[in-house]
């Protein structure tokens, strides 16, 4: 799911490198027709699905032109259906934002192993997702580099012995900017991430540190620790991808070059490690690894994420919906960089709080929060 995005294309890099181990059954994208057709031509899936139904006729015409013999589906409901097909073993959940929630739930119910890159799924409905995964005996393997690092550090360890999770952040392109400087930055400035090649929405979230806030919430659900035990460290070199401190004081960390194919491949091959030609981290050339505390005055989105998790209930869902609205507005030049935090905070204060939400409550909350956020410009 999300085959044409950053994670999706890098997942296909891994598949391409191991054709004897992996095959593609279905490719799902939002609206990137040309790239989806190109992928279908190479990987010959059984199903190609596009979420935006307005793209169906053009997609169908292009696929027929290359004599594609598989099924061609459209619509979000189709994606939620395709992930349940019996031939599928692993679903790579790489759709961006709230849209990934419903199909991930359906894949879990169908007992598919989930390679999870869509952090919003756990941000919005972490309790439901974790309960369903236990109920259906469904493994959820993290693809985010930070959560993969924590997962790797915990292999062979007792999770009850976690004292602290050390979640690293690059600090993004504005790590050293003052508040005055950040008032005038543009989306083009924010999209120049110093270390990682990511999609536009996630890159903006990284610049505002909302992405790290989401990762704090994701870590809470994935590893069963309270947010008070999750500490964010700004690590500009992006070599230590995250670490775990245990009750005896020992710290285990996973290091590597900033290349998302490494955690993707680990999720697909776990518990094996496969050889790769990915870039290696050269610690000699780096010379030093540095760590800083995040500045919550300059990056209030991180503080808002902690607050949403402490309040619990549907508040992380409100946080995510408001952020999606604000993030898009900033990319389109309709609001300033710092204004995004103001919009999110106002929306969190206005939205109706539901302490124990159902799936239907999450759907209603998402709709309400988006409406409130639009009104807060």
Cβ(207)–Cβ(340) under 8 Å?
Answer: no
- Residue 21: Cβ within 10 Å count: 12
Closest CA to 92 of 161, 168, 157, 144: 144
Strand order in the sheet with 230-234: 230-234, 162-169, 240-246, 251-255
Name the helix (H) or strand (E) containing 207: helix 200-208
Whole-angstrom Cα distance, residue 107 to residue 183?
42
Q: Which residues pair with 64 in a beta bridge?
A: none
Residue 198 has pLDDT above 80, yes or no: no
Q: Is 193 helix (H, G, I), strand (E, B) or coil?
A: coil
Cβ(195)–Cβ(170) under 8 Å?
Answer: yes
The answer to which of 12-16, 98-102, 291-295 has the lowest mean pLDDT is 98-102
User: What does the pLDDT average to over 23-33?
Assistant: 96
Tell me the percentage of the chain whose pLDDT exceeds 70: 99
Q: How confident is the model at residue 241 (pLDDT cuts 50, 70, 90)?
A: very high
pLDDT at 197: 65
Whole-angstrom Cα distance, residue 377 to residue 375?
6
User: What does the pLDDT average to over 122-151?
Assistant: 96
Name the helix (H) or strand (E) containing 164: strand 162-169
Q: Cis (ω within 30 of 0) for the bond into 227?
A: no
Question: Considering just the CA atoms, what is the radius of gyration of the chain in Å?
Answer: 20
The structure tokens listed for 29 are 């994208």
Q: Which domains does the chain have, with CATH numbers?
A: 6-142 (3.40.50.720), 146-258+279-295 (no CATH), 312-377 (1.10.1740.10)
* This prediction's pTM: 0.92
Whole-angstrom Cα distance, residue 268 to residue 14?
9
Q: What is the dihedral of CA 248, 127, 199, 285, to 10 degrees?
A: 0
Q: What is the dihedral of CA 258, 260, 266, 269, to 10 degrees?
A: -150
Neighbouring residues of 222: CB distance < 8 A, sequence distance ≥ 6: 122, 140, 142, 147, 150, 151
Sign of CA dihedral 321, 199, 47, 12: negative
pLDDT by residue (tens digit) across 289-339?
Answer: 999 999 999 999 999 999 999 999 999 999 999 999 999 999 999 999 999
User: What does the pLDDT average to over 129-134?
Assistant: 96
DSSP state of 233: E
Backbone angles phi, psi at 125, to 5 degrees: -140, 50
Pairing of strands 90-93, 113-116: parallel
User: What does the pLDDT average to over 48-65?
Assistant: 96
DSSP state of 49: E
- Annotate 303-330 with DSSP letters as a single string: HHHHHHHHH-TTHHHHHHHHHHHHHHHH
DSSP state of 259: -
Q: How confident is the model at residue 46 (pLDDT cuts 50, 70, 90)?
A: very high
pLDDT at 286: 87
For the chain, counts of helices (H) and of strands (E):
17, 10
Residue 195 has pLDDT above 70, yes or no: no
pLDDT at 196: 65
pLDDT at 170: 92
Neighbouring residues of 81: CB distance < 8 A, sequence distance ≥ 6: 73, 106
Whole-angstrom Cα distance, residue 219 to residue 124?
13
Residue 96 has pLDDT above 90, yes or no: no
Q: How confident is the model at residue 192 (pLDDT cuts 50, 70, 90)?
A: confident
The answer to which of 120-124, 218-222, 306-310 has the lowest mean pLDDT is 120-124
Residue 55 has pLDDT above 80, yes or no: yes
Whole-angstrom Cα distance, residue 73 to residue 27?
10
Per the prediction, the chain carries an average pLDDT of 95
Cβ(372)–Cβ(350) under 8 Å?
Answer: yes
User: What does the pLDDT average to over 90-99?
Assistant: 91
Residue 361 has pLDDT above 70, yes or no: yes
pLDDT at 56: 97
């Amino acid at each position: 799911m999300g085959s044409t995005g950053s994670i999706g294309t890098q997942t296909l890099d891994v598949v391409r490198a191991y054709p004897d181990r992996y095959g593609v059954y279905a490719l799902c994208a939002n609206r990137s027709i040309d790239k989806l057709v190109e992928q279908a031509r190479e990987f010959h899936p059984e199903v190609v699905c596009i979420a935006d139904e307005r793209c169906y006729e053009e997609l169908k015409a292009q696929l027929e032109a290359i004599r594609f013999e598989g099924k061609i589906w459209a619509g979000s409901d189709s994606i939620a259906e395709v992930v349940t097909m019996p031939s599928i073993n692993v679903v790579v959940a790489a759709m961006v934002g709230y849209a990934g929630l419903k199909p991930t739930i359906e894949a879990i119910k169908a007992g598919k192993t989930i390679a999870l890159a869509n952090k919003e799924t756990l941000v919005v409905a972490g309790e439901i997702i974790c309960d369903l995964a236990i109920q259906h005996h469904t493994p959820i393997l993290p693809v985010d580099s930070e959560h993969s690092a924590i997962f790797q550090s915990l292999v062979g360890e007792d999770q009850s012995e976690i004292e602290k999770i050390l979640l690293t952040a690059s600090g993004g392109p504005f790590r050293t900017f003052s508040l005055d400087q950040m008032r005038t930055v543009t989306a083009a400035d924010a999209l120049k991430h110093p270390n990682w090649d990511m999609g536009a929405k996630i890159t903006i979230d990284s610049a505002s540190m909302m992405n790290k806030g989401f990762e704090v919430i994701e870590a809470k659900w994935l590893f069963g620790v309270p947010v008070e035990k999750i500490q964010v460290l700004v690590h500009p070199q992006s070599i230590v991808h995250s670490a775990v401190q245990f009750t005896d004081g020992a710290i285990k960390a996973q290091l590597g070059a900033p290349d998302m194919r490494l955690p993707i491949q680990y999720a697909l091959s776990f518990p094996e490690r496969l050889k790769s030609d990915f870039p290696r981290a050269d610690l000699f050339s780096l010379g030093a690894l540095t760590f800083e505390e995040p500045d919550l005055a300059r990056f209030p989105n991180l503080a808002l994420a902690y607050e949403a998790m402490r309040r619990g209930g549907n508040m992380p869902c409100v946080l995510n919906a408001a952020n999606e609205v604000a993030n898009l507005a900033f990319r389109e030049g309709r609001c300033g960089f710092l204004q995004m935090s103001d919009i999110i905070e106002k929306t969190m204060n206005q939205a109706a709080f539901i302490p124990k939400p159902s799936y239907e409550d999450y759907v209603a909350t998402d709709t309400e929060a988006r409406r409130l956020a639009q009104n807060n410009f």
